Amino acid sequence: MSPSVRLQEMIRVIRSARTQCEERGVIQRECAAIRAQFRQADNVGRSHNLAKLLYVHMLGYPAHFGQMECVRLIASPRYSEKRVGYLGAMMLLDEKQDASLLITNSIKNDLSHSNQYVQSLALCTLACMGSAEMCRDLAPEIDRLLRTSNSYIKKKAALCAVHIVRKVPELGELFTTAAHSLLSEKNHGVLHGAVVLITELCEQNPESLAQFRKVVPELVHIMKGLVMSGYSPEHNVAGISDPFLQVRILRLLRILGRNNDTASDAMNDLLAQVATNTDSSKTAGSAVLYETVLTIMDIKSESGLRVLAVNILGRFLLNNDRNIRYISMMSLQKIVQTDHNAVQRHRGTIVDCLKDPDASVKRRALELSLALVSAVNIRSMMKELLLFLSSCPPELRAQAASGIFSAAERYAPSQRWHIDTILHVLTTAGADVRDETVPNLIQLITTANELHSYTVHKLYRALVADISQQSLVQVACWCVGEYGDLLLRAECDDTEPVQVTEDDVLDALETVLQSHMSSPATRGFALTATMKLSTRITHNVDRIRSIVSIYGSCIDLELQQRAVEYNALFKKYDHMRYHARRGSKNCPVSSDDAPQSTPAQPHSLDACPTSSSSPEGDLLDLLGGLDLMPGEGCGGDLSSVFSVLLWCPCTVCDSSAQCGLWAYVCFLPCVPLAPSLTVYEKNGVTLRLQCDRQMDTGVSITLSASNSTDGDITQFNLQAAVPKCVQLQMKAPSGDVLPARAAGQLTQAILLKNPNKVGLRMRVRVSYCSQGTNYQDTVQIDSFPSVAWQ
């Protein structure tokens, strides 16, 4: 390729390259040739070479070796070379490069050149990449140029001044007077430049802002001239005279009128005039109207004007042009907080825009609709939103779902409607909802007592239909487990009753367990629900047992653990299962696992945390610092005990395995195996014995003492003795003061190990101090409740 081939040829060659590789080869050859050319200081082809280099640079290839060439070309006297040189400077150089300093002098000279085109080149380059020092150097020159009579130069100088002000804000004062005088120009280009300069000055400096407020009448006058003038061939765009200038002036008015009453008053008439007179059938007119609306909304305008603005936006919404619809929705969104009622009037149109094929318009419509939901229109809006959810693009689903949830929560007219809505969302977009939805929904269902059977029927049906939406399946499993008896009774009055057999329910749960679509958490829910059902149903307990035992060897640690513990429950504590299940009525919800409330093994609540005989003792240790309310003993309320243990471990256990553990702590301190036995009653002191728990080789009992006299009893102490083949372990007493009038109790737990299974006998010595007198008594306990040594 000959070295002085022109730019067009090179472009043609590059474009005809068929592969990236070929193109790179061509470009590399060209660059090498250009580099050689530069070194030769050849006069003729220099500008062409630089032009070629710039094209190559535009395509993304490195071209830094052309920087010095730019500098040289700028200094050349020929216009064409200067032109290419300056263009190169704008594209290749920026203030971080050293070469940019070298052109400062050339720019300075060219700014005072006799030819206006050369001057304009210099101005253009300075405006594009002038560094702070260059700006400081050349600012006076620019100021002088702003006052020349040449409008061609003036308009460019004005924009160059904008750049200078941005780079070096202190120089702003230099240009204020010039800016003022420029406003009286006739040339639209200069006017435009002046308005931009004033805008920049006001944004940079609040004092200038105050100063320029005086200019408002002048601006108003110019605008009126533009709006009311007839057809002006020079600046006409689709019937509007110079819409670009109008838009600019309106923006400046907005900045000047913000937070300022006098300035805003001066503009009110003008804005009303522009709003009514501008023809909005073409985009140009709409652009002006849009800017007017933005200005009205931002300054302190009167309410009539604001209503006018919102109406304009409403009109835009009905426009055929999609761009205009989008614009109006963006603006409505900005003002929906402040002018809520005005926007409500256009709610119907906004909701229609949910069906627009454009994704940006849909997104805006969704945000606006969610903002417009109120207690009055919640039902109709929700219908539309749910319809939207089923057909919306995937990237909007999560936003739509969470928006629907929060709206439903705030304005739900009834609980049933709320539950219905959430179920609907879960069926359509279950994969995109957030994780907190499941526990929230479960809590909602627990509080809605009358709707339990309705909910469980609905959820069962959803479960049978589709098990791919994880959140839905989790909630459904929990519900089926919890309210399975309602489901089996089939006595729902709201929906048609369907005869559901136990087998059906178990089938459904088994499907969930075995499906590969179910996540481990879902499987956990299903397994627990199966377990819970073992108390609700009567015929298929064996089936449940077999299901549970299968999972005893599951790979997933969580499931395996649960299954093993459930198995243990089946084996050892069959009679307890009923009680264990029954106690889950009012459990508050925790955020990391379903409120399983599933007991693993019964355990004495009164035991000190350091009980080493059973694994659950370690659990209580894990729970750490649990205040076990010593006064409660066997009269305590089951549900409150549940709530204590359910709530506190959330901070202690962070891995899900551990959470599984704590969820299994069941404590049934107060379902006694046998009624309590009063063993000693004297001087107002009553001592009762109660068997708490039986294990294979022993029993744990609790001795509780209470005081019915009028005075406190202090130094209360118990000592016990048992036959030789029985081992005795006494835990620490809960205290040694018995408050008067049975205000409280003292308890002490005793662990008896009876490996030979002899009859249990015990001698207890009681000593205490009552009203100043010390007492000591011995009691022989021969008749333990017979269950103790089975």
Chain residues binding other proteins by CB under 8 A are 7-8, 11-12, 51, 54-55, 58-60, 62, 79-80, 83-84, 87, 94-95, 117, 120, 123-124, 127-129, 152, 155-156, 159-160, 162-163, 188-189, 192-193, 196, 234-235, 237, 242-244, 247-248, 251, 283-284, 286-287, 290-291, 294, 322-327, 357-361
Backbone torsions φ then ψ of 628, nearest 5 degrees:
-95, 20
Q: Determine contact, residues 67/93, Cβ cutoff 8 Å.
A: yes
For the chain, the C-alpha Rg in angstroms (whole number) is: 43
Q: Which of 284, 263, 285 is nearest to 276 (CA)?
A: 285
Q: Is 764 helix (H, G, I), strand (E, B) or coil?
A: strand
Distance CA 397, CA 392 (A): 7
* Rounded least distance, CB 132 to other proteins, Å: 14
Nearer to other proteins, 130 or 430 (CB): 130
Distance CA 572, CA 586 (A): 26
**At CA 773, angle to CA 767 and CA 779, rounded to 5?**
30
Distance CA 266, CA 249 (A): 14
Q: Burial of 679 by CB count in 10 Å (0-12 exposed, 13-18 middle, 19+ buried)?
A: middle
* Rounded least distance, CB 6 to other proteins, Å: 9
Cα end-to-end span (Å), the chain: 107
Q: Which of 262, 171, 150, 168 is nearest to 215 (CA)?
A: 262
DSSP string computed for 136-184? HHHHHHHHHHHTSS-HHHHHHHHHHHHHHHHH-GGGHHHHHHHHHHHTT
* Rounded least distance, CB 50 to other proteins, Å: 10
> Is the Cα torsion angle 486, 489, 493, 496 positive or negative in sign?
positive
- Cα 496 versus chain centre, distance: 39
* Rounded least distance, CB 154 to other proteins, Å: 11
- Cα 714 versus chain centre, distance: 59
DSSP string computed for 574-611? HHHHHHHHHT-TTPPP-SSS------SB---TTS-TT-
Nearer to other proteins, 105 or 115 (CB): 115
* Rounded least distance, CB 426 to other proteins, Å: 31
